[in-house]
Chain A
Amino acid sequence: MSVPLKTRVLLADDHPVVRRGLREVLDAEPDFQVVAEAEDGAAAVSRALEHDVDLAVLDVTMPRLTGLQAAAELAQRRPELRVLMLSMHDNEEYFFQALQAGASGYVLKSVVDRDLVEACRATMRGEPFVYPGAVKALIRDYVGRVQNGQEPTSDPLSPRESEVLKLIAEGHTSKEIAELLVISEKTVDRHRANVLEKLGLRNRVDLTRYAIRHGLVAP
């Protein structure tokens, strides 16, 4: 894929002022134009599908669908779309999940002014953008796996189960979850039971803790 003269960007972050700031940073560059914004992960997916965008910049921590979940869904439904993750957290687990979800880069919010434009350009050239701390994590992970002859650990939950888990942790009732995901309440309860079973957890508090530890909701 050749790099367009002006890359059309979708920005997704739940804070309006942050979106405004990111827009300032990108619109100041001749080769980027922000054409759509989204305030949560679900809106990011639908807007990326309905607008003609080349690049989606997604915050990791958002309501309804996290940026990671949105990235995974977009990778399936619009594989040619480039995705860059934005995060408050210098957290290896989020970083690896971002790569698994198909993102080609991970930018820390604390250095957005320094890294964002460069990361967007790298992403559009088809190159990965990795911040310095993550390079160390990548090397350590690779060396560790080679030494142990291990496969990387994968998420025990299906994408649907992760969605249900996030919504439970956000405090939605089964009925609300059923409406949001357009499935029956019974199916929601079955997913909940499967999640508890798979993770060996007992109740909602455990579920919420797990969801926080794995970046599905903010603490």
Chain B
Amino acid sequence: MPGILIVDDHPAVRAGLVALFDGEGDFELAPPAEGATEALQLAERSPPELAVLDVSLRDGDGIRLCLELKQLPVPPRVLLYTAFVTPTVILKGSLAGADGLVEKGAPAAELVRAIRQVAAGESRMPPLDRDLLSGRTERLSAEELSIVGLRLASSQVSEIADALRLPPQEVVARIGRLLARLEEESQDQDGGNLSAR
């Protein structure tokens, strides 16, 4: 399994992932990156086949990075790797085009399994709660809603651009704005949903 790019700002996580993947024998690793800017430069120079992205990075976030990586000429498969799986992260990850999501507390074997599935073209995104979806999207415009709907049905940016008669860059920009807006709103909403980890 060639070309995995690891992006995480914590050295212990990077070292742990490298050790874990090396132990698999058939995983080929690109040099790991600490942040979004570095990752994007690396990916442009030598496109990875799969990227494992931490959601919170010091110089940005993995979800935004996912959206940008997915716009490369040959986009990688993307697995988000996060300490906290909240409904907002699932929704934002889906909008950004992520192929899978694994919680950092999960056993190592589960992460490896998810990577193999995602690399093989399967989706490992957790299902989205209907109530949550309607709660988060009620303030969106009709056009924004159609982007959300198409994206959740795994439509590519080019397909959405065709459907809405917009340039692809404009669709990406709109998804970017949607991500920012969901992030703002989630500050209040997920804040009330307290969990121990």
Contacts and interface: CB of A to CB of B under 8 A. Distances in A.
Whether A associates with B in a native complex is yes
Interface of A: 13-25, 61, 63, 88, 109-114, 166, 169-171, 208, 212, 217-219
Contact of B11 (A63, A112, A169, A208): A112
B19 A15 contact: no
A22 B14 CA distance: 10
Contact of B10 (A16, A112, A169): A112
A217 B13 contact: no
A218 B16 contact: no
B107 interface: yes
The 6 A-B pairs at the shortest CB distance, nearest first, are namely: A21-B16, A170-B196, A21-B15, A113-B11, A21-B12, A20-B16
B20 interface: yes
17 contacts: A15-B13, A16-B105, A18-B10, A20-B16, A21-B13, A21-B17, A22-B12, A23-B16, A25-B12, A109-B11, A110-B10, A111-B11, A112-B10, A171-B194, A217-B196, A219-B191, A219-B194
Contacts of B107: 16
B196 A169 contact: yes
Contact of B194 (A21, A22, A212): A212
Contact of A22 (B16, B104, B191, B196): B16
B83 interface: yes
B46 interface: no
A191 B113 CA distance: 44
Contact of A17 (B84, B111, B196): B111
Interface string B180-197: 000000000001001111
Interface in B50-69: 58
A110 B9 contact: yes
Interface of B: 9-20, 58, 83-84, 104-108, 111, 191, 194-197
B195 A171 contact: yes
Between A18, A166, A171, A218, the greatest number of chain B beta carbons within 10 A of the residue's beta carbon is seen for A18
B194 A169 contact: yes
A219 B195 CA distance: 7
Nearest to B11: A113
Contact of B104 (A15, A114, A217): A15
A114 B15 CA distance: 13
B15 A25 contact: yes
B72 to A, nearest CB: 26
Contact of A112 (B12, B19, B83): B12
Given A18-B10, A114-B11, 18 more contacts: A16-B105, A16-B106, A16-B107, A17-B17, A17-B20, A18-B104, A19-B16, A21-B13, A23-B19, A63-B197, A88-B10, A109-B11, A110-B58, A111-B11, A212-B194, A218-B196, A219-B191, A219-B194
A14 B19 CA distance: 18
B105 A14 contact: yes
A20 B106 CA distance: 13
A120 B20 CA distance: 24
A21 B11 contact: yes
A109 B12 contact: yes
Contacts of A25: 11-12, 15
Contacts of A171: 194-196
A110 B32 CA distance: 15
A70 to B, nearest CB: 15
B196 A113 contact: no
B58 to A, nearest CB: 8
Contact of B108 (A20, A88, A110, A166): A20
A211 to B, nearest CB: 9
A126 B187 CA distance: 43
B178 to A, nearest CB: 24
Contacts of A15: 13, 83, 104-105
Contacts of B83: 15
